[in-house]
Amino acid sequence: MALDLVGKDASGKPTHHAFRTSQGRLVDLGTLGGGYSTAKVINSAGLVAGDTTLADGGFRAFLFDSGMRNLGTLGGNESMAFAVNEKGWVTGAAQLTSGPRHAFRYDGSMHDLGSLGGDFAQGQAINESGQVAGWSTLDPAHNDPVHAFFHDGTSMRDLGVLPNLPWSSATGLNNHGIVVGNVYAEDSEEDYDTHAFVFRDGKMWDLNELIPPSPFKLFTSLSIDDSGRILCTDGQVGQAVANGYLLVPK
């Protein structure tokens, strides 16, 4: 397990450090010189990926095994980690020298995966072959809308959207290259019409149309395993308590 540990240092100053558990003990993962670190994800081998500050205030993605490794950037001043696979490869977003932030894959070195044309792209899932799924802006002049993407190791593909739902974001990816995520429209500044999706066989499918008639609506798909099982919820962050659902293919 990897989480965050909030406390105080010897001088009484508040601290926020990433930690993991080992043999029933909490292990402080420390930082890369700054006062802050946060754990985002952990794999079955106990490798932890997250973000931390440097002594100069810079912000970096890290990978922790026996120590904290600075994953660097794409030439700019910051990077953020969002997913790690069983090999310890990491994806997230990293800044270029020129300022934009692109999705990256780290497999011992940092690789720029690009964007869908905009100035921001973020990897949110990575499988064992290093394929990455996430989201990207489309136009350098605008921060919206964003579209889900799939990067096959060579190029980035726009997964598109569904009718009347102009935004999409990928959140999960299995080793067969099947992607899950959310497609949505902004109803107001505080409310979205959100639908869980799966992208396979070259097409985006609304998961609500692939299940039997139900009294609930699948808002969010979180992950998919290699047997095709999809973890979903019927709620969103900031809304009422949600239920979890595991969709099992026939």
Tens digits of residue pLDDT in 27-65: 889 999 998 999 999 999 999 999 999 999 999 999 999
Residue 192: which pLDDT band, with cuts at 50, 70 and 90? confident
- Residue 82 burial (CB < 10 Å; 0-12/13-18/19+)? buried
The verdict on whether omega for the bond into residue 145 sits within 30 degrees of 0, i.e. cis, is: yes
d(CA 189, CA 186): 7
Q: What percent of the chain has pLDDT over 70?
A: 90
**CA distances for 69 relative to 31, 86, 90, 231, angstroms:** 10, 17, 12, 31
pLDDT in tens, 115-129: 999 999 999 999 999
Query: What pTM, to 2 d.p., does this model score?
Result: 0.91
* Whether the Cβ atoms of residue 116 and residue 139 lie closer than 8 Å to each other: no
pLDDT of 24: 84
**Residue 189 pLDDT:** 63
Choice between 250 and 170, residue whose per-residue pLDDT is larger: 170
Distance CA 164, CA 244 (A): 26
Q: Tell me the per-residue pLDDT of 87-99, one tens digit each, with 9 for 90 and over.
A: 999 999 999 999 9
User: Which residues neighbour 100 within 8 Å (Cβ) at sequence distance 6 or greater?
Assistant: 115, 118, 119, 120, 140
3-state secondary structure of 93: strand
Average pLDDT over residues 187-214: 89
In this predicted structure, the answer to whether residue 3 has a pLDDT above a threshold of 90 is no
Residue 209 phi, psi dihedral angles, 5° rounding? -90, -5
Rounded Cα distance between 169 and 135, Å, is: 5
For the cut 70, the answer to whether the pLDDT of residue 139 exceeds it is yes
Per-residue model confidence as pLDDT tens digits over 201-243: 999 999 999 999 999 999 999 999 999 999 999 986 556 678 9
Burial of 22: CB neighbours in 10 Å, binned 0-12, 13-18, 19+: exposed
C-alpha distances in Å from residue 4, one per residue of 22, 76, 92: 14, 26, 19
Q: Which two tokens stand for residue 107?
A: 């497999």
What CA–CA distance (Å, rounded) separates 127 from 85? Answer: 6
3-class DSSP assignment, residue 211: coil
What type of residue is 242? A
Considering the chain, what is the average pLDDT of its residues?
92
| Better pLDDT: 80 or 28 | 80
The residue that leads in pLDDT, 12 or 130, is 130
pLDDT at 16: 87
| pLDDT of amino acid 4 | 66
Give the CA distances from residue 73 to residues 56, 77, 86, 116, 124, in Å, rounded to whole numbers and listed in that order.
Answer: 15, 7, 22, 19, 17
> If you average pLDDT over residues 85-110, what whole number do you get?
97
